[in-house]
Amino acid sequence: MNKKVCSFPILFALLTLLIGTCAVVFPASAQAAPTSTGSITVSGTVARSYDAYQIFSANVVDGDSDAKIATDLAWASDAVRDAALPVLHSAGMPNSQTTAQEAAEWLNTDSHLTSALSAQLARSLQSSGAELAALNAGTAAELPCGYWLIVADDDAIAQGEAGTAPIMALVGGSAVTVKPKAATPKVAKHVLEDSTAAWQKAADATVADDLYWRLSATVPAGLTAYDTYAVRFVDTMSAGLDPSKVAASMRVYVAAGADGGFDAVQTGKDGRADTEPAKGWTDITAQCATKVAVDGTFTVRTGDLIAALGGADAFTAGARVVAVYNAPLNSACNHGIAKGNPNEVYLRYPRSPFADQFSDAGFTRTPSDDACAYTWDLALTKRGSDGDKPLAGAVLSIADDRGRTLAADGTWDAEGKATVTTGEDGRVTVSGVDSGKLEVRELKAPKGYTAFEGTCCVTVKAEGLDVDQVAAAKPKVTVSAESPLRVDAADAGKGLVELSVLNTPSNEVSRGFMPSTGDRTLVLVTALAVIGVVAIVVALVIKRGGGRHDK
């Protein structure tokens, strides 16, 4: 038996408490003679090693129906007695009761040994200097007979592992195997797709437009013995996402129960998430802290979830935590489907009911989860229909489905008054745009050419973004254009679609199509045909190849 004083938090795993057998104190004449030691094995994968504190020594033999009979109970040591009695008296055991037999009988009466009381006993033993025995997971160990409190070593808790209350085990007679039960939180990340108003693993958006992300954590039912419980979201954004709005936009919500979904707020097809919590959710933003680093990594630490839910009884049924924030795509973002703009999160949660929740050492973490945002480019080149040569000097109005028009500097004018003019290469690039419809009007044609009348549309449709995992996303983008627009080419990786806007030479209209008879009906029909009122739809499909996006 090794003696040591625990200076670090310890983790308990929930198991059926065996202290009830201590009430059987009558000797059994037909039973085998008691032995001085017994074998115990801790199975499972909660931790690699455990500390075991003996509470009571006893003579232990096997009874009928796999029961054990314990007699001659005594405190394991004065240190254990001095650590345990104040806890038991504070919990309601009469002050006049001080012997091991009296303590064991009181614990067995009316199920006094709750997980909370077990945790209090463990805390007191941890600081008492009482002797402990070290156990290795999966390996049988011989211990003196009696009641033992089995405690997982916090330093042996790995990523994605956790537990709850202490294990009380009766050692002696036949070999004993106990299996700690682990209950670990989970985390997920989604992004709001404006076209469906749905939270998805992938979405597309226009650069600089509000883009909402949702972090969701599930705290499982059965986490007992905690006085407080807080979690931390740790979020890592790619370089293509703008962190400047994160802190100001962050809202955090909690709801009781591990089931029921994560619709903490309503969403709209304007691409925005409301701030008012939905029924059953509580806004706890004021109790949370958000810290954003220079590199865009940020943490969101909740307040005490037990207090937020109204007490331990509600908390043991589980909880859901949702954090919603705004992080638009920026000018450095990846365009197209080759890489996308991933956003990753993991959750830090307390190792045990005894963890120091103001220290990183008191937390472990979940595996990561991610979501991804995409954006597209459209390049329009003004060309003459007489040879496809690029044309400079065309003044175009290009409007998105929010009524904004493209400005010369690449931004979008909310008033819808901005225009763009083609240069010597005849080219105008619409960079970093959401899927949807763009309307193109020609306000002024190049010299010697006739402007088309009315509005022609380019429609970008993105499919395959609503998936369970980002790795499974294979976005397919369909582009259709109305005459006189023409789809020429596309680069799937870069997300670049090349289109031409065709102009008819002015003299071609007067010489080649205007009849000499002056028939007004024929003139009208001919003119309408020239300007392309009858739409010609050209479809171009861009399909992503298999595999995960490159982060």
pLDDT tens digit at each of 551 positions of the chain? 333 333 223 333 333 333 333 333 434 334 455 679 999 999 987 778 888 999 999 999 998 877 899 999 999 999 999 999 999 999 999 999 999 999 999 998 888 988 889 889 999 998 998 999 999 989 999 999 999 999 888 877 778 887 667 889 999 999 999 988 777 899 999 999 999 999 999 999 999 999 999 999 999 998 888 889 999 999 999 999 999 999 999 999 999 999 999 999 999 988 999 999 999 999 999 999 999 998 889 999 999 999 999 999 999 999 999 999 999 999 999 999 999 999 999 999 998 888 888 888 889 999 999 999 999 999 999 999 999 999 999 999 999 999 999 999 999 999 999 999 999 999 999 999 999 999 999 999 999 999 999 999 999 999 888 888 888 888 888 899 999 999 998 887 889 999 999 999 987 643 332 222 222 222 222 222 333 333 333 444 454 444 444 43
**53 contacts 151 by C-beta, under 8 angstroms:** yes
**CATH label of the domain that carries residue 408:** 2.60.40.10
| Domain presence at residue 457 | yes
**362 contacts 355 by C-beta, under 8 angstroms:** yes
User: Could you report how far apart the first and last alpha carbons of the chain are, in Å?
Assistant: 50
The candidate with the shortest Cα–Cα distance to 200, out of 464, 481, 486, is 464
Whole-model pTM? 0.82
**Domain shared by 80 and 46, yes or no:** yes
| Domain presence at residue 2 | no
Q: Hunting for tokens 């537990």 — which residue is that?
A: 163
**119 contacts 316 by C-beta, under 8 angstroms:** no
**The Cα angle at residue 113 between residues 110 and 114, in degrees rounded to 5:** 100
**427 contacts 407 by C-beta, under 8 angstroms:** no
What count of other Cβ atoms lies within 10 Å of the Cβ of residue 363?
Answer: 19
**Domain shared by 174 and 190, yes or no:** no
Question: How many domains does the chain contain in total?
Answer: 3
86: left (phi over 0), alpha (psi -120 to 50) or beta: alpha
C-alpha torsion sign, points 91, 94, 96, 98: negative
The DSSP call for residue 33 is P
**Domain shared by 361 and 391, yes or no:** no
**343 contacts 238 by C-beta, under 8 angstroms:** yes
| Domain presence at residue 549 | no
Instruction: Please give the residue range of the domain that contains residue 324.
Output: 186-373
The candidate with the shortest Cα–Cα distance to 84, out of 109, 106, 111, is 106
**Domain shared by 364 and 280, yes or no:** yes
Structure tokens of 504? 């008819």
Structure tokens of 121? 């006993």
Rounded Cα distance, 11 and 55, in Å:
18
CA distances from 296 to 12, 242, 375, 448 (A): 36, 8, 20, 52
**488 contacts 500 by C-beta, under 8 angstroms:** yes
Rounded Cα distance, 11 and 152, in Å:
5
Beta-strand ranges (E) seen in 8-66 are 10-11, 37-42, 49-62
| Domain presence at residue 1 | no
| Domain presence at residue 265 | yes
**Domain shared by 138 and 161, yes or no:** yes
Rounded Cα distance, 330 and 551, in Å:
16
| Domain presence at residue 3 | no
Rounded Cα distance, 511 and 268, in Å:
53
Report residue 120 CA to chain centroid gap. 33
In 220-363, where does DSSP find H-type helix? 246-249, 305-309, 312-315
**Domain shared by 368 and 494, yes or no:** no
